[in-house]
Amino acid sequence: MNSHKVLFVLTSHDQLGNTGKKTGFYLEEFVTPYYHLADQGVQITLASPKGGQPPCDPNSEAPDAQTETTKRFNQDSALKEKLSKTLKLSEVKADDYDAIFYPGGHGPLWDLAVDPVSIKLIETFWAQNKPVASVCHGPIVLKGVKDQNGEPLVKGKKVTGFTNDEEAEMKLTEVVPYLIEDVFKELGANYQKAENWKPFLQQDGLLITGQNQVSPGLVADALLATLKK
């Protein structure tokens, strides 16, 4: 059987608004789906708007954020090397992949949410009937995406993503450019959520979204199941 090819798109943005703090992608939301899929023979390509090494959210590298998969990553020099050489997003083509996945972290709120290359890429994957998956703050990448009829892709669809309450607990409500829950409701999405910091997944056909940083395993498993259909 041909192994599936999945494109992972990571943020290139490293500033947490004007707080002077660093942000980026959230490590757990990258490595857990990566290993879930790669261990099943999926070939994964990494890309980011600027290419090269994407910034990792320092909070996700803190001791209390470590998981089995982040510990595995810390010992994985091959994946670290691969991560340091992400392709430029403008150089990848949807035709080469079977699905696209966006890890979260606060970075995507600033760059991928409004990146015309990313938006066009998702629209192409969708038009080609390929799965589009994201987790936590990753779903904000759907904000500007339209379906073939020119309607917001998420309109009327079941979605989730980082909640207003979770953002408030992080004390970042006033810092972030978008609150995902509000954006999705404004776009007419059927936004659902679980309690704060509980794993939660929504799947609407080929659209797969996870709520927070404890949901990436759910998203990866749903994506794998969808690819195998």
The architecture of the domain spanning 5-228 is 3-Layer(aba) Sandwich (3.40)
Quickly count: other Cβ atoms within 10 Å of residue 123's Cβ.
18
* Residue 47 main-chain phi, psi, to 5 deg: -140, 160
* Helices (H), ranges, 19-144: 27-38, 68-74, 77-83, 107-110, 116-127
- Is pTM beyond 0.85? Reply is yes
User: DSSP label at 9?
Assistant: E
pLDDT, residue 53, reads 98
Instruction: Average the pLDDT over 127-139 and give the result.
Output: 98
pLDDT, residue 63, reads 95
The model's confidence at residue 2, banded by pLDDT at 50, 70 and 90, is low
C-alpha 129/C-alpha 140 separation (Å) is 20
C-alpha 7/C-alpha 20 separation (Å) is 31
SS3 64: helix
Distances (CA, A) of 118 to 18, 81, 136, 169, 210: 24, 23, 17, 29, 19
Residue 81 has pLDDT above 70, yes or no: yes
Average pLDDT over the chain, rounded to an integer? 97
Instruction: Average the pLDDT over 104-119 and give the result.
Output: 98
Where do the structural domains in the chain lie, given as residue ranges? Answer: 5-228
Residue 175 has pLDDT above 50, yes or no: yes
pLDDT, residue 1, reads 47
Instruction: Average the pLDDT over 3-18 and give the result.
Output: 97
Best CA proximity match to 26, nearest among 129, 126, 140 = 140
The model's confidence at residue 79, banded by pLDDT at 50, 70 and 90, is very high
Q: What is the pLDDT of residues 188-226, one digit of tens each?
A: 999 999 999 999 999 999 999 999 999 999 999 999 999
Residue 122 has pLDDT above 90, yes or no: yes
Percentage with pLDDT > 90 across the chain? 98
Residue 84 has pLDDT above 60, yes or no: yes
SS3 190: strand
